[in-house]
């Protein structure tokens, strides 16, 4: 991921595949979202530029002068719209918040409507009872927009980020907790923004991810959590990011190699890692991801082959599988591991209901339909659409939509579409494949940014050493018992050679990920060097530097070491001069 396009305007993972903002309400410069789900509303842009909306109109968020084709009578008799209704023409991007909406027209003008409390509409008004039921112009020269719970952020065409609205958690990134009733400049050189409930994620043009706002469950990703840990100014979290989505106390980032990393609230399985334990720092989830959307305890990803996968809360059948899950939270089902929903997906936006656009321009929806937000003409208490249902066709595919059927090109290496000749690790990957150190994560993917497990690491070392027969045939580790596993002989060899003694308590820790200093320590020991005792980490890093293994790399010893850098260091040690 040393390779990233400067402005992300035409960010390309490979031939025929571009990475989208991928979030409900997220904005990326030059790649406007054409479908967005709010709390009880949905918006979609058709290929002719017309914007259509449906669902709750309690706060004027449909932009059609506050009317509807039905009335929701359970909390104050307010209008709802149960089928798509045209709102505005010449629209290139849209974002829905819980009670306000923002749209960008082709001339760069930003239009907003809905509830204006806290200044979220950016027109100078903040009153509790202030509502705007038809589009009003807020600013010009806008390239991207994202609506959060009670605030809004926009990127102008010069790359500056502006925000306005509620700010009690520091979500505006202004360094204080004062609301802003008009757009306020926050930072320069911004390429993408995603606003969640009260947490904001920003990608700068150098690929670095910055975050601010609420950190109740660790959604900032800086190792902290709790309201006392709210971040009032944007703080840098991680580099090499191409796409981000934040919502529901969770953040998901796609790195340029297609690897998905997540952190934050995991009580409903929203991180997709098989647990319900929240995380305060980025953790690798899966590879080959092209788009992601987080919201209301749900995560949806589109993989590079166009398949849509989901996990998290299934309280309103928002996972599209008809209900159920492999776990529960507060008496409702949830899903802690990814579940495939459909194929040929191009874009997705999630909330209590889900909207997915297929590559043929058809819009499919499912989940909560309490106020008609699924758009199929009915509504009401307990009215849930359990599986994907086609709502309309002719939906625009943005320039960032997923186009599947990926193949390697002349600019790629070793048959992997995600390793380019210009990558610093290109020669190392080619050597690793030719030497049978690794064949990649699939026939056409190497997944250079994926974290490396202990099982994988010792297998790489063992194969690079020529796959020697271990000195013993009996495993000393309770979790290494499958004699047919790819890693079995490698683990025995590594133990026999003193390369690693496991993680303690008789366990090898097969699935544990490795940091740079741990990888370098293994390489040092495999070469006959010493990296032990209390200063083993410093000794390993020093040995690697002295032997030129880490030349050209930028890293911290305790960072997770990706596949690209493991094979790079192996290559520098064994293959570069061969």
Global confidence as pTM: 0.71
The predicted pLDDT at position 23 comes to 36
Average pLDDT in the 217-232 region? 94
How does the average pLDDT of the chain come out, rounded? 88
pLDDT of 471 higher than 90? no
Residue in 9, 44, 3, 80 with CA at minimum distance from that of residue 391: 44
Taking only the tens place, the pLDDT of each residue in 33-77 is 899 999 999 999 999 999 999 999 999 999 999 999 999 887 778
Q: Cα–Cα distance between 377 and 437 in angstroms, integer? A: 57
Taking only the tens place, the pLDDT of each residue in 82-109 is 999 999 999 999 999 999 999 999 999 9
Taking only the tens place, the pLDDT of each residue in 473-488 is 889 999 999 888 889 9
Residue in 316, 321, 355, 322 with CA at minimum distance from that of residue 338: 321
The predicted pLDDT at position 25 comes to 46
The predicted pLDDT at position 409 comes to 61
* Residue percentage of the chain with pLDDT more than 90: 64
Residue 165, H or E segment: strand 161-165
Q: Cα–Cα distance between 266 and 297 in angstroms, integer? A: 8
Q: Give the DSSP letter string of 523-574.
A: HHHHTT----STTHHHHHHHHHHHTTTTTT----TTSBPBHHHHHHHHIIII
Measured at the CA of 541, the angle between CA 535 and CA 542, to 5 degrees, comes to 85
């Amino acid at each position: 991921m040393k390779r990233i396009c400067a402005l992300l305007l035409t960010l390309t993972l490979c031939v025929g595949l571009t990475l989208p903002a991928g979030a409900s309400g997220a904005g990326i410069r030059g790649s406007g979202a054409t479908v967005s789900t709010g709390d009880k509303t949905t918006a979609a842009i058709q290929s002719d530029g017309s914007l259509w909306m449906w669902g709750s109109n309690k706060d004027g968020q449909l932009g059609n002068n506050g009317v509807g084709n039905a009335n929701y009578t359970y909390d104050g008799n307010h209008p709802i719209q149960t089928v798509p209704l045209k709102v505005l023409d010449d629209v290139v991007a849209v974002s829905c918040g819980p009670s306000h909406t923002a749209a960008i027209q082709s001339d760069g003008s930003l239009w907003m409507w809905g509830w204006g409390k806290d200044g979220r509409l950016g027109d100078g008004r903040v009153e509790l009872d202030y509502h705007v039921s038809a589009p009003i112009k807020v600013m010009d020269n806008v390239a991207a927009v994202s609506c959060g719970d009670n605030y809004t952020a926009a990127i102008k065409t010069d790359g500056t980020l502006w925000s306005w609205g509620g700010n009690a958690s520091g979500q505006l990134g202004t360094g204080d907790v004062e609301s802003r009733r008009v757009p306020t400049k926050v930072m320069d050189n911004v390429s993408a923004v995603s606003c969640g409930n009260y947490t904001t994620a920003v990608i700068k043009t150098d690929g670095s991810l910055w975050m601010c706002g609420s950190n109740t469950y660790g959604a900032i990703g800086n190792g902290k959590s709790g309201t006392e840990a709210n971040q009032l100014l944007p703080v840098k979290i991680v580099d090499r990011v191409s796409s981000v989505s934040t919502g529901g106390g969770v953040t998901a980032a796609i790195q340029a190699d297609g690897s998905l990393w997540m952190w934050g609230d995991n009580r409903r399985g929203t991180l997709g890692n098989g647990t319900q334990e929240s995380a305060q720092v980025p953790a690798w989830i899966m590879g080959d991801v092209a788009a992601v959307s987080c919201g209301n305890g749900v995560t949806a990803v589109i993989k590079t082959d166009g398949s849509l996968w989901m996990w998290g809360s299934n309280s309103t059948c928002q996972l599209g599988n008809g209900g159920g899950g492999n776990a529960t939270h507060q008496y409702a089902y949830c899903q802690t591991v990814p579940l495939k929903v459909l194929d040929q997906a191009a874009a997705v936006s999630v909330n209590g209901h889900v909207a997915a656009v297929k590559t043929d321009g058809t819009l499919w929806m499912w989940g909560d339909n309490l106020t008609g937000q699924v758009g199929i003409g009915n509504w009401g208490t307990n009215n849930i659409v359990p599986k994907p249902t086609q709502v309309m066709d002719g939906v625009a595919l943005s320039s960032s939509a997923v186009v599947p059927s990926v193949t390697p090109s002349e600019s790629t290496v070793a048959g992997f579409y995600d390793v380019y000749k210009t990558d610093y690790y290109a020669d190392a990957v080619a050597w690793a494949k030719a030497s049978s150190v690794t064949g990649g994560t699939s026939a056409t993917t190497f997944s250079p940014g994926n974290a490396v497990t202990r099982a994988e690491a010792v297998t790489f070392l063992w194969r690079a050493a020529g796959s020697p027969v271990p000195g013993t045939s009996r495993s000393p580790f309770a979790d290494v018992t499958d004699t047919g596993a790819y890693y079995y002989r490698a683990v025995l060899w590594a133990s026999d050679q003193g390369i690693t003694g496991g993680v303690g308590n008789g366990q090898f820790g097969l699935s544990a990920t490795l940091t740079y200093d741990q990888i370098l320590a293994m390489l040092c020991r495999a070469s006959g060097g010493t990296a032990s005792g209390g200063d083993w980490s410093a000794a390993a890093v020093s040995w690697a530097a002295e032997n030129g293994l880490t030349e050209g790399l930028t890293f911290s010893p305790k960072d997770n070491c990706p596949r690209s850098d493991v094979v790079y260091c192996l290559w520098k040690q064994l293959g570069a001069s061969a």
